[in-house]
Structure 1
Amino acid sequence: MERKKVTIWTSSSFLIFITYLIFLVYPIVTILKQAVIADGKFSFSHFATFFEKSYYFDTLVNSFKVSLTATLTSLIVGTVLAYLFSMYEFKGKKLLQILVIIASMSAPFVGAYSWILLLGRNGVITKFLSAAFHLPAIDIYGFKGIVLVFTLQLFPLVFLYVAGTMKSIDNSVLEAAESMGAVGLQRMFKVVLPLLVPTLLAAALLVFMRAFSDFGTPMLIGEGYRTFPVLIYTEFISEVGGNAAFASALAIMAIAIALSIFLVQKYIANRFSFSMNSLHPIQPKKTTLGKTIAIYTTVYGVIFLAILPQLYLIYTSFLKTSGMVFVKGYSLNSYKTAFDRMGSAIFNTIRIPLIALVLVVIFATFISYLAVRKRNIFTNLIDSLSMVPYIVPGTVMGIAFISSFNTGLFGSGILMITGTAFILIVSLSVRRLPYTIRSSVASLQQIAPSIEEAAESLGSSRLNTFVKITTPMMVSGIISGAILSWVTMISELSTSILLYNVRTRTMTVAIYTEVLRGNYGVAAALSTILTIITVASLLTFMKISKNNSITL
């Protein structure tokens, strides 16, 4: 009996599967084990503790309130903005889109820190309103502040999703609606929004998960308004009263909640899914003077508010500082201190994510090919596993990695990587891999299999066809996903704050710790450097892809 030949696809799928078992399944199983074992016995006591005490349960309710509200406000703002961009002509679209992307790519806690400087008890705007108009201080802290920061930081994700879908709507559909009397808001609600439902559901999931899993913003601006990720973080790292087993139980609950929301979203999205072909794309048109003024006011006003935190941080980075306060005059001392004390953090922010990005691109290219061209039960399992990090909060993944690799695999000392740069590289790769996989899959699905079959019929091996023909045709999708993976890597905090040490500290961790210490000038300088890296990355992407717009 002839043995089945082992191909590059069999071996690569096996290697990918083993990698997921070690660096994804094993960590999650480890925290699950910690969560259900109490005093050496199987028990649900840690879960019972959570539901018995309102102090703990209220944090979960708070997280749902914040996340749902931020999701709703982000959907409204992002959809309206994308609609105006697609339907009407106005100046500065390219610059505005870059600004929108910059606003979305910064870490949420940086926005929280900026708004404290602007609208906090001693904020610039607060002082101005009090001195000029004798108005009471604006309460930026708590629920309202968290929602404000999340909305201004996450609506760009909705904007990018909806703007991409608007390009697929055929203009003849809108013309038909107009001929039947549906114009203006009526056309938007009765025609455009129903066509956007699948996109809005996908965007809503992404926004909700980003808001639900973020702990930096509630930690800085929440004050007494505690959220679920903050509870998980403090329970795990607290030296007094901290409980790693209880934190693991909370982590498992976070995974269960995220998975449930993901499955519900997927079910609803499948019910409303349909395809569109745009033979006649929507052409932006001029409108009346009154509408034009309203459009400019809305678009420029919203984007100005979204970018204001970054602009103010850049400004404050050049101010002189005396201890914890800014004083009159300008100086580069904050940058000097940042490079002297945090030079390694700046270097790590480039080095660690860059290595992770290489791994992401390699794995995403193979996984997407296996998922589309070599579809079977095994490759479907790999594709499903690749989406798990998409829904698991970063704090949970950080706890899972520490619990799993502090003493090595099964306590053997093998892969004892906690505290090393390698664990940060692996965590970034695993968490940001789904972005590049999804865009690569979308790109590959547009390539006809007959092209590869033709190459093979001319004598090209399968591997040669994949390397020299298929992969180059997938490049646009790979690059698109890679830039999103890269920018989210360099702004990562929730996992890095748990996994870093002095030698592997990144800029986001450094910014966060400097804010807590009150070194606002240094924090502003580091934030500005991070913004410059983000902008440079986006401009590089546009140049390489020869694309003047970015959509999801």
Structure 2
Amino acid sequence: MTPNAGRFASGLRLRLKGWDFWTWVTVVVYVFMFAFIVYPLFSLLFNSFFNDKGLFSLENYANFIKLKYFYSALWNSLKVSFFTTIFAILIGVPLAYVNARYDIKCKGLIQIMVIMSLLSPPFIGAYSWILMLGNNGFLTNFLHSLGIPFSSVYGWKGIVFVFTLQFYPHIFLYVTGALKTIDTSLEEAAESLGRSSFHRLRTVTLPLIFPTLSAGALMVFMAAFADFGTPMLLGQGFKVLPILAYEQFISEMGGNPAMASTLSVILIVCSTAILFLQRYFVSRKNYNTSGMRTPKIKQLKRLPKFFFTAAALFVACVSMIPQATVIVTSFIKTKGPVFQSGFSLGSYKEILFRVPKAIANTYTFSLISIVIMIVMGMLIAYVLVRRKSKVTAMLDGLLMIPYVMPGTVLGISLIIAFNNPPFVLTGTWVILVIAYVVRKLPYTIRSSTAILHQLDRSVEEASISLGVPPMKTFFKTTGRLMAPGVLSGAILSWVTTINELSSTVVLYYGATATISVTIYSEVFTSNYGTGAALASMLSLSTLISLLIANKLSKKGLQL
């Protein structure tokens, strides 16, 4: 070794010795992000510039622009997402206003029902409405018997209908929180000037909550834009971009990974553009208020109170129809794909005998993922909140990428990145766990940063001043104080993980199938009884998880 090389190695060792625990955490997280987000995305982008002969070309992008088969899928995705967002706002805003401002009955029940409808598997709604309003659905047959013309729930209008009932809770939850905290001074000023209630709502209240409303609308649009299961079940030839990308990547006639990569890149570009568009509109005006005078609950007379309570309960009950349908259907006797009269546990016995591996996989993979998410979420949150710098700000920006990555795109990008030596992960359970962690980690991080912002630094500073190292202080003091809030947020990530379909359907193979993929397969083969039994298991898991999260959040508040 030359003297210069020796000095360099010695200097490097000294610099590494100077790194503390949190510096190493930052480095490890960056390695993780580059390995499983940045590298797969660049692989996806790189792959999109090669034609099916392996030659560098813009042919795929040219075909997308020229061929109606491809560009119509983008138009279909935008059309479905736009109408879903509009209808979700039309349902969510009035429901949130009534719930936040009036003393209606059953507020807690309504909120639980709305949250349950949001956290149910996205394709369960489609499956349930097929049973009711499909070509041979019992409601379809009932309407026909009354002489009412009705075709079926299939097609783009049916997709919008199911999406609206699935995603309007985003608007409800966001707007409810905003309406409870805005300053009422401006509303009272408008009222003193003789403005009507509707005029005050349109010109004062809605503009004040626009940032929150637009954030909820963005969540609805992105969820509808990225969804795979519902359009696949209800489309019947109506193609949206995630389905087209999936079919181009995995096709019985021989896939076209390059075109699938191109469609995936276009999906990400569109999602990112929508995100920045929302931020642009919010940044144009100042929406800050003092927050000194929060709204008071308005007492209603008996008749208006009954009317508003009935209307709110009606919306919540319609939202829960898919859950109720799935549960009831799971107990109906079946003979193959045909339902028989009477009830039995036959569908449950069949799934325990036929697909126990899928059930075990779902909870095993999700449990491993959530443990990783909790540990990483707490450590990353500490770095972002307590060790602010340009480096951590860039890390925070990288963590936003999964927000704009549809599950189908993430699955395709991971296969393209890790399908060749030296790191071959396709066909293993590991790649599924990675996909779950990448997709859901940002939500765990947000819940962790929220609780950490509320904790006073003085506790950990006192521990360090007594000679306890920073790393030990975090695990013995700060981490324990964060735990209830982090766990309640992590349980919500767990719920969405056990219900995950769009990335799983791309990444799984026979031995790593999960409940969501099995439901998808059962519905496609018309085995509705077993599909309903599996869906009921997911619904029960969701309900239990929500109850645990609620209990943990209450404990967190006591801390």
TM over 0.5, shorter chain: yes
Asked if the contact 1:255–1:393 (Cα under 8 Å) also holds between the matched residues in 2, the reply is yes
Task: Identify the residue that residue 347 of structure 1 maps to in structure 2.
Answer: 360
Task: Identify the residue that residue 75 of structure 1 maps to in structure 2.
Answer: 89
Describe the shift of the 1:309–1:400 C-alpha distance in structure 2 as closer, same or farther (beyond 3 A). Answer: same
CA distance in 1 between partners of 2:177 and 2:139 (Å): 36
Relative to structure 2, which stretch is displaced further, 106-115 or 39-48?
A: 39-48
Q: Please give the secondary structure, in 2, of the residue aligned with 1:329.
A: strand
Task: Identify the residue that residue 156 of structure 2 maps to in structure 1.
Answer: 143
Gaps of 5+ in 2: 1-10
CA distance in 1 between partners of 2:357 and 2:197 (Å): 54
Deviation, structure 1 residue 156: 0.8
Matched, 1:54 2:75: no
Relative to structure 2, which stretch is displaced further, 145-154 or 374-383?
A: 374-383
Task: Identify the residue that residue 300 of structure 2 maps to in structure 1.
Answer: 287
Deviation, structure 1 residue 340: 1.1
Amino acid at match of 1:7: D
Deviation, structure 1 residue 286: 2.2
The one of 362, 372, 384 equivalent to 2:375 is 362
Q: Please give the secondary structure, in 2, of the residue aligned with 1:498.
A: helix
The one of 537, 553, 558 equivalent to 1:545 is 553
Question: Cα RMSD (Å) of the superposition?
Answer: 2.2
Amino acid at match of 1:524: A
Relative to structure 2, which stretch is displaced further, 258-267 or 103-112?
A: 258-267
CA distance in 2 between partners of 1:273 and 1:375 (Å): 26
Describe the shift of the 1:231–1:45 C-alpha distance in structure 2 as closer, same or farther (beyond 3 A). Answer: same
Q: Please give the secondary structure, in 2, of the residue aligned with 1:139.
A: coil
Q: Please give the secondary structure, in 2, of the residue aligned with 1:417.
A: coil
TM-score normalised to the size of structure 1? Answer: 0.93
Deviation, structure 1 residue 444: 2.4
Q: Please give the secondary structure, in 2, of the residue aligned with 1:503.
A: helix
CA distance in 1 between partners of 2:441 and 2:285 (Å): 27
Describe the shift of the 1:513–1:465 C-alpha distance in structure 2 as closer, same or farther (beyond 3 A). Answer: same
Asked if the contact 2:85–2:221 (Cα under 8 Å) also holds between the matched residues in 1, the reply is yes
Relative to structure 2, which stretch is displaced further, 279-288 or 141-150?
A: 279-288
Amino acid at match of 2:323: Q
Matched, 1:528 2:541: no
Relative to structure 2, which stretch is displaced further, 272-281 or 62-71?
A: 272-281
Residue pairs, 1:109-508, within 5 angstroms? 109-131=123-145, 133-171=146-184, 174-182=187-195, 184-272=197-285, 274-275=287-288, 278-407=291-420, 411-412=421-422, 414=423, 416-508=424-516
Deviation, structure 1 residue 23: 1.1
Asked if the contact 1:390–1:432 (Cα under 8 Å) also holds between the matched residues in 2, the reply is no
Task: Identify the residue that residue 4 of structure 2 maps to in structure 1.
Answer: none
Task: Identify the residue that residue 65 of structure 1 maps to in structure 2.
Answer: 79
Amino acid at match of 1:106: S
Relative to structure 2, which stretch is displaced further, 119-128 or 277-286?
A: 277-286
The structure with the larger Rg is: 2
CA distance in 1 between partners of 2:555 and 2:165 (Å): 25
Amino acid at match of 2:399: S
Task: Identify the residue that residue 43 of structure 1 maps to in structure 2.
Answer: 57
Describe the shift of the 1:548–1:379 C-alpha distance in structure 2 as closer, same or farther (beyond 3 A). Answer: closer
CA distance in 2 between partners of 1:490 and 1:272 (Å): 40
Deviation, structure 1 residue 335: 0.8
CA distance in 1 between partners of 2:293 and 2:459 (Å): 27
Residues 149-196 of structure 1, C-alpha deviations (whole Å, 9 max, x = no match): 100000111211222222322455544544444453233223321221
Q: Please give the secondary structure, in 1, of the residue aligned with 2:511.
A: coil
Amino acid at match of 1:251: S
TM-score normalised to the size of structure 2? Answer: 0.92
CA distance in 2 between partners of 1:439 and 1:192 (Å): 28
Q: Please give the secondary structure, in 1, of the residue aligned with 2:442.
A: helix
Q: Please give the secondary structure, in 1, of the residue aligned with 2:233.
A: helix
Residues 465-488 of structure 1, C-alpha deviations (whole Å, 9 max, x = no match): 333343344345423431221111
Relative to structure 2, which stretch is displaced further, 509-518 or 467-476?
A: 467-476
Describe the shift of the 1:450–1:34 C-alpha distance in structure 2 as closer, same or farther (beyond 3 A). Answer: same
Q: Please give the secondary structure, in 2, of the residue aligned with 1:223.
A: coil
Q: Please give the secondary structure, in 1, of the residue aligned with 2:355.
A: helix
Deviation, structure 1 residue 40: 4.2
Q: Please give the secondary structure, in 2, of the residue aligned with 1:492.
A: coil
Describe the shift of the 1:270–1:547 C-alpha distance in structure 2 as closer, same or farther (beyond 3 A). Answer: farther
Aligned length: 543
Asked if the contact 2:106–2:309 (Cα under 8 Å) also holds between the matched residues in 1, the reply is no
Q: Please give the secondary structure, in 1, of the residue aligned with 2:454.
A: coil
Gaps of 5+ in 1: none
Deviation, structure 1 residue 48: 0.7
Amino acid at match of 1:544: L
Deviation, structure 1 residue 315: 0.8
Residue pairs, 1:97-108, within 5 angstroms? 97-108=111-122
Describe the shift of the 1:182–1:366 C-alpha distance in structure 2 as closer, same or farther (beyond 3 A). Answer: farther
Task: Identify the residue that residue 514 of structure 1 maps to in structure 2.
Answer: 522
Asked if the contact 1:167–1:278 (Cα under 8 Å) also holds between the matched residues in 2, the reply is no
CA distance in 2 between partners of 1:362 and 1:18 (Å): 16
CA distance in 2 between partners of 1:396 and 1:251 (Å): 5
The one of 27, 31, 35 equivalent to 2:40 is 27
Deviation, structure 1 residue 276: 5.3
Q: Please give the secondary structure, in 2, of the residue aligned with 1:255.
A: helix
Describe the shift of the 1:474–1:165 C-alpha distance in structure 2 as closer, same or farther (beyond 3 A). Answer: farther
Amino acid at match of 2:541: I
Amino acid at match of 1:257: C
CA distance in 2 between partners of 1:421 and 1:241 (Å): 24
Deviation, structure 1 residue 430: 0.4
Amino acid at match of 1:485: S
Task: Identify the residue that residue 8 of structure 2 maps to in structure 1.
Answer: none
Amino acid at match of 1:130: H
Amino acid at match of 1:313: V
Deviation, structure 1 residue 442: 2.6
Task: Identify the residue that residue 89 of structure 1 maps to in structure 2.
Answer: 103
Asked if the contact 2:249–2:257 (Cα under 8 Å) also holds between the matched residues in 1, the reply is yes
Asked if the contact 1:452–1:465 (Cα under 8 Å) also holds between the matched residues in 2, the reply is yes
Residues 504-527 of structure 1, C-alpha deviations (whole Å, 9 max, x = no match): 211111100000011000001111
CA distance in 2 between partners of 1:403 and 1:204 (Å): 32
